[in-house]
Amino acid sequence: MPQIVFLKKLLSYNLLKLLLIVFLSCGLLIFINLFTIKILSASRAYVNGESHYSKAQKDAFRHLITYMYTQDVREWKLFNEELKVPLGDGAARIALLAEDVDEEIIKDGFRAGRNSEYDLDNLIWLFRNFKDVPFFTKAIKEWEEGDKMIQQLQRFGNNIHRDVETSNLDSEVRKKILWQLGVISNKLTINERKFSNTIGEGTRKIKDLLLLVNVLFILIIISSVSYYYSLMVKRLIDSKKEIEIKNGNLSMLNHELDNFVYSVSHDLRSPITSLKGLIELIKLEDDLEKINYYLMLMTQSLNRQDQFIKDIIDYSKNKRIETSIKTVSLSMLIDESISLHSHNKSADKITITKDLLIDEVQSDSLRLKIIVNNLISNAIKYVDEEKNENTIAIRTYNSGVFHKIEIEDNGIGIQEEHKENIFDMFFVINSNKGSGLGLYIVKETLNKLNGSISVSSKKNEGSKFTVTIPNLYLNGN
């Protein structure tokens, strides 16, 4: 039973661990997916921002060239208006790289870059958390190079504006400026393309990595659920087997109980019938000697009845009372048992010796008392009255992780053909000496203690019963 309880606890612990793994995996899976969505959303915001950056830069070029040829002030204003977009993004980048900068300053830069208000937090989060990741570091470098060319474009614009106001723009100067603006425009286009490609490539790598992580956690969840299912199926199968075993044990107990009730009712009625007959004989008898003989027979019958009732009580106690492990003195227990049986017939003719190598043990006091009482009682009852000297030797000692209790006598012994049956319920060799319950109770009681009993005996030479019980103290239980 302790092993079954331990296995149940272990199974429950494993189920709890599996459920914990599933819940943690689901939680991490949700977190990773939210993390993935946030990265992809922020990356999309940067790509979207780059499109505003690129369009504004190209529009700024167009307005500047138009202004250079038409000298229309509105084109100059539109140039400066469009140029605010890449300049705003550049200001946000510089602020993000600096420490202890108010987040609103960063957001104002991104707002100037025509980024959506809903994307500002994601833009800041991705920059701050991924600025040291290789792909994003490379993208920031491209961004910085683009900002330098935007500043160069701004300087060109200012120079053109000054030349327009001073009328210093002839056709040759315009051609030269137009060529220089084309070079800057081409470099910016290449730069912007590299920035978008870098962000896209990095995002794809992160997406692939997070996809693998998602698959891994899904596999963990599926494996855990499958294992959980297999454990539950195993638990159901084990429970079914346990129920079948219990049903089998219950059927066996019912059968045993039927036999027990039948035998007990018979054994309880037999002495009563015998006593009634002896009483009727005494009523008809005048001879005092015969009356005393009948009274002696009545006393023997009552003694057998008393022993039988004691056996039934011991049987009930062993079945009903839970095992209670505590310190027990074997010396005290043996002395009490010897004293209890000292009034038995022939007890005064027996020499009892004790060799107690161990005294205090960790066991069940009640059950040890039942075991020792029955064995000492049998050793006294089955004395060989034809021998000049009757002895009982009691010995206790340790054997590995077990305690041993030996009770050896030189009584009448046990016939070889009876040895296999002496521990069966109601098996008796001599109905005048026992009820057939004593040794059966000893064996059942030892089962409760996870112990065992063995016997060696020869007819007319004596018997030795060896009781083995676990050394619970040494085992640390």
The reported pLDDT for the residue numbered 379 is 83
Helices (H), 98-170: 103-112, 120-130, 134-166
The reported pLDDT for the residue numbered 432 is 53
CA distances from 131 to 45, 75, 119, 139, 421 (A): 16, 37, 17, 9, 87
Angle between helices 73-97 and 134-166 (to 10 degrees): 150
Please provide residue 231's backbone torsions phi and psi, each rounded to the nearest 5 degrees: -65, -40
Going by the DSSP 8-state scheme, the letter that residue 101 receives in this structure is: -
CA distances from 119 to 82, 98, 112, 136 (A): 21, 21, 13, 18
pTM of the model: 0.47
SS3 label, residue 419: coil
Residues 51/275, Cβ–Cβ less than 8 Å: no
Going by the DSSP 8-state scheme, the letter that residue 321 receives in this structure is: S
The reported pLDDT for the residue numbered 306 is 65
Between CA 81 and CA 86, with CA 85 as vertex, the angle to 5 degrees is 125
Parallel/antiparallel/unpaired status of strands 390-399 and 350-356: parallel
Residues 19/225, Cβ–Cβ less than 8 Å: no
The reported pLDDT for the residue numbered 263 is 47
The reported pLDDT for the residue numbered 257 is 58
The reported pLDDT for the residue numbered 466 is 93
Parallel/antiparallel/unpaired status of strands 462-470 and 452-458: antiparallel
What residues form DSSP beta bridges with 326? 363
Name the nearest CA neighbour of 54 among 242, 189, 194, 151: 189
State which amino acid sits at residue 228.
Y
Please identify every stretch of the chain with a pLDDT value under 50, giving residue numbers as ranges. Answer: 1-7, 262-263, 266, 473-477
Distance CA 399, CA 385 (A): 34
The reported pLDDT for the residue numbered 266 is 46
SS3 label, residue 364: strand
